[in-house]
Amino acid sequence: MVERVKKNADAWLDKLKPANSNTRISVGGRPVPPGPQQVLPGAPNNLGLTSDRLRMRMVERVRAQGVDHAAVLGALASVARHRFVDQALASRAYEDGALPIGHGQTISQPWVVARMLAALCEPEIPRKVLEIGTGCGYQAAVMSHVFAQVFTIERVRPLYDMAKARLQDMALRNVQCLFGDGMLGWGAKAPFDAIVVAAAGLSIPQTLLDQLAIGGKLIAPEGDTNQRLIMVTRQSSREWMRVELEAVRFVPLRPGVQT
């Protein structure tokens, strides 16, 4: 599946039109949210907005906002985001914004998903990747089209059950799910070539840094009210290099599990 998406990525990108008015602008390194979502003329107000055309326009906006990694954009184009939100929110599924999925959690905005995954893919695509915070399963589904092996952990039992069932229905055989405390990582499957954290802690847990392979990268939001996206690269068994990226906004990273 991964190789097929990579081969099709350029074909998807060739279909994309020039950037529209929703292009993100950065000011002092901080992303400015895009303007109001534009709807295709004549589109109905509910399930008609879940079409391939709207998904293509979502990918177009993400590319216009600065993410141009072909495999990541191809993966976004391949995953129907409306399948991961409540039917009442299906008409908003392809907006560039986070949406509630229950239990105080959200599905991340498409640009953030693409930004984080693209950052992990430079200079080369990692093979074995851990996700902390499965949520509704959308990001794991996108990751399955980019990485050879995806391991994902969710601490909220109802979300875990829902995401696992959804991912199994999609026959994503390269994704493994775990119900557990994401701050502890997945030691039995470590080391990982990359780790992506979908919630913000005051600091990045050392346990996760220890589960990176040498040369591996971790990307995570960090902070409370003022959050920054952080990229950490493991240099050696005892050395990690840290780089701060742009401002972001995520739900808090919490310990333990919730049943």
Quickly list DSSP for 110-137: HHHHHHHHHHHTSSS--SEEEEE--TTS
Residue carrying structure tokens 């919630």: 199
Phi, psi of 122 (to 5 degrees): -110, 135
Q: Are residues 39 and 95 in the same domain?
A: yes
Buried b (16+ CB within 10 A) or exposed e, 240-249: beeeeeebbb
Q: Are residues 127 and 91 in the same domain?
A: no
- Inter-CA distances, 93 with 101, 133, 162, Å: 12, 19, 18
pLDDT value for 21? 26
d(CA 1, CA 35): 34
Could you give the number of structural domains in the chain? 2
Asked whether residue 36 is assigned to any structural domain, the reply reads yes
Q: Are residues 244 and 129 in the same domain?
A: yes
Asked whether residue 98 is assigned to any structural domain, the reply reads yes
Asked whether residue 201 is assigned to any structural domain, the reply reads yes
Asked whether residue 259 is assigned to any structural domain, the reply reads no
Asked whether residue 220 is assigned to any structural domain, the reply reads yes
Q: Are residues 98 and 127 in the same domain?
A: no
10 Å CB burial of residue 113 (0-12, 13-18, 19+) is buried
Residue 256: both structure tokens together: 């333990």
Q: Rounded to a whole number, what is the largest CA-CA distance in the chain?
A: 58
Q: Are residues 230 and 162 in the same domain?
A: yes
Q: Which has the closest alpha carbon to 235: 254, 256, 218, 252?
A: 218
Q: Are residues 128 and 161 in the same domain?
A: yes
Asked whether residue 111 is assigned to any structural domain, the reply reads no
Q: Are residues 138 and 68 in the same domain?
A: no
Q: Are residues 86 and 184 in the same domain?
A: no
Q: Are residues 129 and 94 in the same domain?
A: no
Q: Are residues 85 and 160 in the same domain?
A: no
Q: Are residues 52 and 144 in the same domain?
A: no
Q: Are residues 55 and 138 in the same domain?
A: no
Q: Which has the closest alpha carbon to 73: 128, 115, 120?
A: 115
pLDDT value for 250? 94
Full domain range(s) for residue 8: 2-102
pTM: 0.82
Q: Which has the closest alpha carbon to 115: 254, 248, 259?
A: 248
Asked whether residue 92 is assigned to any structural domain, the reply reads yes
68, 102, 136 — which closes off a domain? 102
Residue 30: partners with Cβ closer than 8 Å, 6 or more residues away: 246, 247
d(CA 214, CA 197): 18
Instruction: Report the CATH number at residue 223.
Output: 3.40.50.150
Residue 3: both structure tokens together: 């190789």
> What amino acid positions are annotated as catalytic residues?
108
Tens digit of pLDDT at every position of the chain (259 positions) = 555 544 555 555 555 443 332 223 232 333 333 333 333 333 334 444 457 899 999 999 999 999 999 999 999 999 999 999 998 999 899 998 899 999 999 999 999 999 999 999 999 999 999 999 999 999 999 999 999 999 999 999 999 999 999 999 999 999 999 999 999 999 999 999 999 999 999 999 999 999 999 999 999 999 998 999 999 999 999 999 999 999 999 999 999 999 9
34, 69, 102 — which closes off a domain? 102
